[in-house]
Structure 1
Amino acid sequence: MRRTIATVSLSGTLPEKLEAIAAARFDGIELFENDFVNYKGSASQVRAMASDLGLSIDLYQPFRDFEGMPDAQFRRSLERAERKFDLMQELDVSMVLCCSNTSPLTIDDPDLAAAQLHELAGRAAARNLRVGFEALAWGRATNLYGQAWEIVRRADHPHLGLILDSFHTLSLKDDPAGIAGIPGHKIFFLQMADAPLLSMDVLQWARHYRSFPGQGQFDMANFLEQVLLAGYTGPLSLEIFNDVFRETPNRRIAVDAMRSLLYLESQVRDRLEHPAPPDGKPDHAKYAEQRARVLQRIELYSPPPLPEIAGLSYIEFAADEASAAQFDTLLQQLGFRRAGRHRSKAVVLYRQGDINLIVNAQPNSFARSRFETHGLSVCALAVRTADPEGAVGRATAMQSKRYDGPIGPYEQRVPAVVSPGGSLVSFVSSALGPNGLYEADFVLDDESDAAGQGVGLQQIDHVALGLAVDQQDTWILFSRAVLGLEPGESLELADPFGLVRSRGVANADRSMRLVLNVSPGPGTRTARTVAAGGGVTVHHIALNCHDIFDTVARMRARGARFVPISGNYYDDLITRIDLDEHLVARMRDAGILFDRSQAGDYFHIYTESFNDGLFFEVVQRVNAYDGYGATNAPARMASQAQRGA
């Protein structure tokens, strides 16, 4: 499919927008009227600028408040249209978007609207132009695609067709299934926009909170599938009104935009290749044949498959020499042992249970050059997968950059990509088993020395990232399109100095979990940590165990220090949740927090921060608890604020 994007979706001046769009390899643009009106050059200069960048101008928009108007206003609108047509011919753009009327003068008369649009289409036809009619979700008389299609059908003009926008349909919870019954040649243009599910006025929702496909909560794949089943073969476009996007460097947003379309196409291709008919459609052969015809008619992007991730293999930290020594003390307090030294670099491996932590203090390494400025930070997350090269192929197909670091003799090559924000995601072959990579790259200590050294930590439960405001949507899309992680619900947590928005992403078997945290205000701990880390940073790592009371007692005996929790928390806890008083007393004595869902229980505790940055969380999941103890985050944040840590 041809891929286009509306200029309103990006920040910058019109030339800057076009350069970013071209760099992301789009085929064309929708030219938003304000971008042209505020540009200092002429229409012919814009046309030449787009052409030089290899971009077509596929749509000019919007033309407002036209159909269903009293005669005097209608005649004036025809004069407006003629001036727009003059401009379109100078721009060499053949289609204009006419959105449904929002004027209080609108007459709710489909026949009148059809007649007026027929005349507009006739004038467009005289210049070999086309008019696309779109139902705005807040249109005065026409706000559903079915209403817009009925008006277009009644108007019956070859130069008038329908423009569909996923936001306008899905925000109103309108069923897109009927789109498949519209003749494909009468759908002139398709705009895609996702969004989070919000309870607010649809106009404000539309103008401030749209997002790229894969970043929100709408069923974008089903919507596109219905349009393709109708026979549509035109451009696949993005029209995104989002305040954060318009404040973010446009090159990165343009890459996100292209990634979102490639991801969406791949989702729909998979649906068409492996159709699963819904209830009420028993004729599977006919259903499958209908979808096979779509694939014959139109080419949809087909990247390598998503990797099957089997958990985190290791976490790598970048550290200077002083921080590495201090961190060594903390890790030993948490029961980790120094399990080996790298064969050619100043890198140490720490192990406990199935947890592998690598501290990289090698001068001039990728880790040190990018992350040493603030002492210690996570520079790489390594995931286990059966096909590392396939995983990297998927990532690069989805617009991520591959990274190949230097390796020494007999060392394993671990393919990696650069994640949003600059850290690495590495892919370790599951075939290497628990020790294959480390036996190749490290001089390992005798495993018999490990007996009795641990404190009961078993695995990495989840990793929490602190993100700048403009990074959360990027990471949601990266997690979905590159790693195959699906997002859970979005939560708002109260920090003493503002709000933190938190959202988890995980694979199906929960062997890989990330928590994405963002704070709109500058005063929260999350915001300060993110600012210190350059926009994206791992701010805590959760490690699970089978008996948190025993594990914490053994850690304390080694000198580990934990965030103290107010006694008021435990007084309140027993009023909120039906718990045994003896259990609550044990939690109070140990400083352990508690959460309960219908599926199970969650015990957890936080260490004090390392150098006012990274900290660890020790967790115990009981039964099928699937959350992250978010209700207790305010207790932790308030304690850290009161201690200044």
Structure 2
Amino acid sequence: MDIHGIDHIELFVGDARQAAFYFDRAVGFQLCGQGGPETGLAEQRSLLLRQGDVRMLLTTGLTAEHPASRYVRRHGDGVAVVALEVDDAAGAYAELVRRGAAGVTAPTTRTGADAEVVTAEVGGFGDVLHRLVSRRGDPGEFLPGAIEMTPVDGGGKLLAEVDHLAVCVPPGQLDETVGYYRDVFGFAEIFVEHVEVAGQAMNSTVVQSPSGRVTLVLLEPDRSRGPGQLDAFLDQHVGAGVQHLGLRTDDIVTAVAALAERGVRFAGTPASYYDALEARVGPVDAPLDRLRDLGVLVDRDHGGQLLQIFTESLHVRRTLFLELIERRGARTFGSGNIKALYEAKERELAAAGTTVAAPTPQEVRA
């Protein structure tokens, strides 16, 4: 069973049209398909958006008992399905169930004039499912007979692909979740870390498909320390889920400037963070003044540098948010920025002669 990459991400939302308006006007996605009862999608409205290689399906239940309606009542708007591209969806489904995955939706085939798409679903983490997708024929078709495609002009390519998904699980469930993806999906553990700052801490394990195209950053709070951002997410989201969606860009400065102009709000960065930046990560091939103006963060690992920034949460529960990331050889996820941001705020407070509390990891990544 080969998992080649992420086929699409499906969000269950309270109002698909309103959510699509935001992702279109603010984040640069383009509406390229839609479906509902008139196309055979009973009791739901789904809008398909695309930017670069990122496909996002926004689904709203039209009845109280539709799975999307139940999801939104419990969790609010959020990622409900992570769809995986495979060669043979039916074969992958059988293999995953044999290895211990919960079978949710048996293989279904949809055919059109020039395409055939087979899908099946298995359990993932929390209430999030994995949809297995295999495609034949016209790559422009998404789900023949269910999603009516709309021609787009190919613009809006500030974002290139899904880099990773950050998944928060309750304390004590990290090892079990890592084992599930290792033993059932064949993912490898590529990075393990314990992050502690300002009396708060979290454990992190990164798992990745053999293809290297699907990466999950699995996080759990360390309850031996004080409560922080992961505890807040678990409370507001009511259980495990996708905390943020990491989207890779080839030019983060251009992307952040464009999205900010369109109204996207990004998490703030203390100005003093940049005073020690090059001493910490080495020379950066971007004007520091520009990075400072935009709030872009920089970190380094053995492979090189990465530039990243986090949006404010998209939702009233302050759960799901986005990360923009540009990789310049780095393979990790910028955990060094948590400590760097904390120390920058400490310097500002010391210079001001105040005792106001320094930022917590929750404030850093909120």
TM-score by length of 2: 0.82
Alignment CA distance shift 1:533-1:443 (3 Å): same
Distance 1:617 1:639 in 2: 18
Alignment CA distance shift 1:557-1:480 (3 Å): same
Structure 2: which amino acid aligns with 1:638? P
Structure 2 partner of 1:584? 288
Aligned with 1:369 (options 70, 79, 98): 70
Deviation string for 1:551-572 (max 9, x for gaps)? 1111112111111111121112
Structure 2: which amino acid aligns with 1:615? F
Alignment CA distance shift 1:397-1:502 (3 Å): same
Structure 1 partner of 2:161? 459
Distance 2:365 2:307 in 1: 25
Distance 1:473 1:603 in 2: 29
8 A Cα contact 1:471 1:535, kept in partner? no
Structure 2 partner of 1:400? 101
Alignment CA distance shift 1:386-1:559 (3 Å): same
Alignment CA distance shift 1:464-1:336 (3 Å): same
| Residue correspondence of structure 1 range 125-524 to structure 2 within 5 A | 307-321=1-15, 325-326=18-19, 328-342=21-35, 343=39, 344=41, 345-362=44-61, 363=63, 364-404=65-105, 412-431=117-136, 434-448=139-153, 450=154, 452=155, 454-494=156-196, 496=198, 498-521=200-223, 523-524=227-228
Deviation string for 1:146-191 (max 9, x for gaps)? xxxxxxxxxxxxxxxxxxxxxxxxxxxxxxxxxxxxxxxxxxxxxx
8 A Cα contact 1:496 1:641, kept in partner? no
Distance 2:55 2:334 in 1: 24
8 A Cα contact 2:9 2:83, kept in partner? yes
8 A Cα contact 1:471 1:536, kept in partner? no
Structure 2 partner of 1:593? 297
Greater CA deviation, 461-470 or 522-531? 522-531
Structure 1: which amino acid aligns with 2:163? D
8 A Cα contact 1:455 1:551, kept in partner? no
Structure 2 partner of 1:46? none
Higher strand residue share: 2
Q: How far is 1:523 from its partner?
A: 1.9
Distance 2:198 2:271 in 1: 18
Alignment CA distance shift 1:409-1:393 (3 Å): closer
| Residue correspondence of structure 1 range 108-123 to structure 2 within 5 A | none
Q: How far is 1:370 from its partner?
A: 3.4
Gaps of 5+ in 2: 343-357
8 A Cα contact 1:606 1:618, kept in partner? yes
8 A Cα contact 2:9 2:57, kept in partner? yes
Distance 1:582 1:427 in 2: 40
Structure 1 partner of 2:322? 616
Alignment CA distance shift 1:524-1:639 (3 Å): closer
Distance 1:641 1:528 in 2: 8
Deviation string for 1:176-230 (max 9, x for gaps)? xxxxxxxxxxxxxxxxxxxxxxxxxxxxxxxxxxxxxxxxxxxxxxxxxxxxxxx
Structure 2: which amino acid aligns with 1:316? E
Alignment CA distance shift 1:393-1:614 (3 Å): same
Distance 2:138 2:335 in 1: 34
Structure 1 partner of 2:346? none
Q: How far is 1:639 from its partner?
A: 7.2
Distance 1:433 1:594 in 2: 40
Across the aligned residues of Structure 1 and Structure 2, the Cα RMSD in angstroms comes to 2.8
Structure 1 partner of 2:255? 551
Deviation string for 1:237-273 (max 9, x for gaps)? xxxxxxxxxxxxxxxxxxxxxxxxxxxxxxxxxxxxx
Distance 2:306 2:364 in 1: 25
Gaps of 5+ in 1: 1-306
Structure 1: which amino acid aligns with 2:91? G
Q: How far is 1:609 from its partner?
A: 0.8
Higher helix residue share: 1
Q: How far is 1:379 from its partner?
A: 0.9
Distance 1:470 1:598 in 2: 30
Larger radius of gyration: 1
Distance 1:464 1:644 in 2: 12
8 A Cα contact 2:121 2:129, kept in partner? yes
Distance 1:644 1:447 in 2: 34
Greater CA deviation, 591-600 or 457-466? 591-600
Q: What SS does the corresponding residue of 1:379 show, helix, strand or coil?
A: strand
Distance 2:256 2:267 in 1: 12
Alignment CA distance shift 1:632-1:433 (3 Å): farther
8 A Cα contact 2:45 2:59, kept in partner? yes
Q: What SS does the corresponding residue of 1:397 show, helix, strand or coil?
A: helix
8 A Cα contact 2:267 2:365, kept in partner? no
Q: What SS does the corresponding residue of 2:275 show, helix, strand or coil?
A: helix
Alignment CA distance shift 1:379-1:580 (3 Å): closer
Q: How far is 1:459 from its partner?
A: 0.6
Structure 2 partner of 1:255? none
Q: How far is 1:470 from its partner?
A: 2.8
Greater CA deviation, 375-384 or 430-439? 430-439
Q: How far is 1:438 from its partner?
A: 3.7
Structure 1 partner of 2:233? 529
Distance 2:275 2:302 in 1: 22
Alignment CA distance shift 1:643-1:458 (3 Å): closer
Aligned length: 334
Q: What SS does the corresponding residue of 1:441 show, helix, strand or coil?
A: coil
8 A Cα contact 2:165 2:242, kept in partner? yes
Q: What SS does the corresponding residue of 2:268 show, helix, strand or coil?
A: coil
**Deviant stretches of 4+, over 4 Å:** 405-413, 639-645
Distance 1:643 1:493 in 2: 13
Q: What SS does the corresponding residue of 1:437 show, helix, strand or coil?
A: coil
Distance 1:528 1:627 in 2: 24
TM-score by length of 1: 0.48
Distance 1:526 1:610 in 2: 17
8 A Cα contact 1:496 1:524, kept in partner? no
Identity of aligned residues (%): 24
Q: How far is 1:467 from its partner?
A: 0.5
Distance 2:128 2:244 in 1: 15
